[in-house]
Chain A
Amino acid sequence: MILTDKTLTAARKRLLQMHFESGVGHIGGNLSCLDAMMLTFHEYVGDEDRFILSKGHAAGALYITLWSLGRLSNDTLKTFHKDNTLLAGHPPASGINDILFATGSLGHGLSLAAGTALALQLKGQSGNVYCLTSDGEWQEGSTWEAMIFAAHRRLSNLTILVDHNNLQGFGSTHDVASMSPLTEKLSGFDLDIQYVDGHDLSAIRTAIDKPSDKCRIIILQTIKGHGVSFMEDRMEWHYLPLKEEQYKLATQEIEAL
């Protein structure tokens, strides 16, 4: 099912609404990866495939993506971050079929994705595994353990999407612990590495569609807070909730995109 601009805009607006109504932050890192997540789910993740969100703090984007597919209701979204909700600040351990693992501690998802991909291979199943990581979590040693494993096992059914928005918890990735350019750091592995505009759906499609017999990494050049001028590329939107005026302005800007 082709992801339309209309559907994507609706998802962006619903993301802002959910975060505003719940008074919850983490908006910047959700907007940076929402486009790629929506595209992956709408066009690539079928029943036989798996998606693992390694950057668990983008749970909002994941919930909205599932909502856009009709798998979570508006009533459920209203419970986001509230007591007695399934929609915690990071993906839950159970209760939502499309969410396989409770992530949130960075550096776990890539290993989980590699294990899933290997399991599918051993079982002779044809599904693909998609894993979305942040860029900051490539500072975790376990991510590199997973990379060694995935490359060595030549997990060609594994596609890793890196939300490379250049901002992490308390500074830019460049200032905190630079791995720039990440493509060079990864180039020693026997992988299929691509670097694309993470807000260009056509470019992401082309990258995912490219045939490969290796594990694939698609580094998505993204903008934290994408689509909202006062959020874009600003670290505080890793954390801040929206005030009412900001919410209205942000919604207008999203509609005008």
Chain B
Amino acid sequence: MRQQLCDALVSRSVNPDMVFLTGDLGFMALEPLQQGMQARFINAGVAEQNMVSVAAAMAREGLDLWVYSIAPFCYARPFEQIRNDVAFHNLPVKLIGNGGGYGYGVMGPTHHAIEDYGILLTLPNMRVFIPVFDEDVDAVISHAGAAQNPSYLRLGRGEIPLGFEVPKYAPWRQLTAGGGMVVIVAGPVAGTYIDAFQSLPEEIRPNFWIVSELPLEKNPLPLELLKQMSARQDLCVVEEHVRRGGLGSELALLLLEKKIEVGAFHHLYARAHHYATYGSQNFLRAQSGIDVKSVLAVVAQKSLEF
């Protein structure tokens, strides 16, 4: 999504108040932005704590701040700066984390970000945007840019099957419909399920939803989804994020609060920062049981039982 990110930010940079800070990342991707923004493109060096506080201060002066790094270096290293300097003051700093989830694959667990939005959503005023497809990035930049709150953009690598027409960006989108369980997915891993779900017989094909904005109290569930869940269908939530603090737990709480009874609740999630051996994003998804094969085992089998 880096190319789309660069394009979207270049378009936005006609705003003279926009400032972009990078933690020394963007080689072979952000050069057009650097050339276009000149002094307002700031390589803050390998110093993320300082970068985030600087961003907070510049936002406090009314500038339009975007901060970029590899996802874990964007939120984990400077967490206190995000908490104290950005969130406590409700400053509209946009934190862009590239390679969310297992995006950096074989680079190892220091580069993974599988607890990012759970941690950040504990902070006041924070909004999270998780584009699913490359085509979403432009709209996500617009939505985050329009918000008057701090936000975190979790970027990954969009994956769509050949010939699939990406639906226009919306915080909630339904990708397949059928008589099967309700499946809700966050992040680009959703793209890897499309072919398989579309191929399922109609009676077990899931009502497959993707969600791109959190927290849910700022992004209410669509009526159609509520209707589907209220029919006591099984529900499967999939995310490239640890179990605690993620979409699954937030959704479970919401269902309890709203007294919505679903059938079985399946939560498939990133199970470990690293395993005994290392591998690609797809390898790690399989290890965690969120690859298409593992998800199908839940979605198709449970639906057949039902």
Contacts and interface: CB of A to CB of B under 8 A. Distances in A.
Interface of A: 93-94, 100-103, 105, 107-108, 111-116, 118-120, 122-123, 141-142, 145-146, 148-149, 152
Q: Give the most central of B45, B61, B81: most A CB within 10 Å.
A: B61
A120 B84 contact: no
Contact of A146 (B19, B50, B55, B84): B50
Contacts, number: 90
B84 A105 contact: yes
Given A105-B84, A122-B40, A116 B47 contact: no
B194 interface: no
Interface residues of B, number: 26
Nearest to B49: A142
Contacts of A148: 45, 47, 50
A111 B44 CA distance: 11
Given A105-B84, A108-B85, A100 B60 contact: yes
22 contacts: A93-B89, A94-B89, A100-B60, A107-B49, A111-B49, A112-B57, A115-B53, A115-B56, A115-B57, A119-B19, A119-B62, A119-B63, A122-B19, A122-B39, A122-B58, A122-B63, A142-B81, A145-B45, A145-B49, A146-B50, A149-B44, A149-B50
Contacts of B265: none
A115 B88 contact: no
B54 A114 contact: yes
Interface of B: 19, 39-40, 42, 44-45, 47, 49-50, 52-58, 60-63, 80-81, 84-85, 88-89
A103 B19 CA distance: 24
B39 A112 contact: no
The 4 A-B residue pairs with the shortest CB-CB distance, nearest first, are A115-B57, A111-B53, A115-B54, A145-B50
Given A102-B88, A105-B84, A122-B39, A146 B53 contact: yes
A83 to B, nearest CB: 20
Contacts of A105: 80, 84
Given A101-B85, A105-B84, A123 B54 contact: no
Contacts of B44: 149
A116 B84 contact: no
Given A122-B19, A149-B44, A102 B57 contact: no
A107 B57 CA distance: 14
Contacts of A93: 88-89
A101 B89 contact: yes
Contacts of A100: 57, 60
A152 B80 CA distance: 24
A173 to B, nearest CB: 22
A107 to B, nearest CB: 8
B66 to A, nearest CB: 14
A115 B60 CA distance: 9
A116 B19 CA distance: 13
B60 A116 contact: yes
A142 B84 contact: no
A102 B39 contact: no
Contacts of B88: 93, 102
A255 to B, nearest CB: 38
Nearest to A121: B39
Contacts of A103: 84
Contact of B57 (A94, A111, A123): A111
Given A101-B56, A111-B57, 6 more contacts: A93-B88, A100-B57, A101-B57, A101-B85, A118-B54, A120-B61
Contacts of B63: 119, 122-123
Nearest to A140: B49
A103 B84 CA distance: 8
B61 to A, nearest CB: 4
Contacts of B54: 111-112, 114-115, 118, 146, 149
Given A105-B84, A145-B49, A113 B39 contact: no
Contacts of A101: 56-57, 60, 85, 89
Contacts of B89: 93-94, 101-102
A159 to B, nearest CB: 15
Contacts of A141: 49
A4 to B, nearest CB: 33
A145 B53 CA distance: 11
Nearest to B47: A145
A125 to B, nearest CB: 8
A142 B58 contact: no
A107 B49 CA distance: 9
B18 to A, nearest CB: 10
